[in-house]
Amino acid sequence: MSIQQLFSLSGDVALVTGAGRGIGRGIAIAFAEAGASVICAARTQTDIDECAALCNAALDEHHPNSGAKAIALSCDVSDESALEELVKKSAEAFGKISILVNNAGGAYPNDPLKTTGKTFNRDFNFNVTSAFNLTRLCHPFLEEYRGRVINIISASSRYSQAGFSSYGTAKAALEHLTKLLAADFAPTIRVNGISPGTILTEALGQYLNEEIQEKMTALTPMKALGEPQDIAAAALYLASTASRWVTGKIIEVDGGAESTTWPF
């Protein structure tokens, strides 16, 4: 098999959560460029409509006669019944799900003395329980099609830094969940994760100005911040046959950082 064939996703159907913007959008488009049909899922319909349109444009350009397509399905991953509906509609549209990317997640920096248990549990559920539930719901399809699950984690899962007791804890739990599910589902389903460092997305942009970005760049060994496509490239590897002998692993895509680049 050629290298090009190893990285092809032709015939696959990928469900990507948090696909409206940033990393999720980058992954969805990369998968379409590789030939997969893509279900773009997120809460904001206009965002995922845009993402699906970009995916369909990529399919038209690179795989014009494949029959693959992208669709947009609105979903709040924190709502288990909404996840059930998402899987149902995905199956109705394509008859299969062979790749699942649990990308939806996030939380604001927090002061632990001002964070209630309710807020802490909300962040945990958004980042961890949602991924667990969607993986469980997709399992019959993933089992049938020798599927792949990719969880988007965060460098915050391993850094000791102030202000991240909620988000960092949740992402650390998601990292270990990735390894445990890999053991549960091997050899039929491969489960891996990607741990991004500082990626230039709309979510990060709300905290950035020129001075802060320069400080974060200086703290990164590669002297540059990441782009969504950097994570998409790693996701393509984990989704494709190229990584057929990889499960239960976390790929760190972080510009070489071994400690926080958060300058506050």
Active centre residues (catalytic): 167
Among 257, 235, 27, residue whose Cα is nearest residue 156: 257
At what angle are helices 45-62 and 22-33 packed, to 10 degrees? 20
d(CA 148, CA 131): 13
Taking the CA atoms of residue 39, residue 76, residue 84 and residue 97 in that order, the dihedral angle to the nearest 10 degrees is 20
By CB atoms closer than 10 A (0-12, 13-18, 19+), residue 205 is exposed
Distance, CA of 138 to CA of 133 (rounded, Å): 9
Radius of gyration of the chain (CA): 18
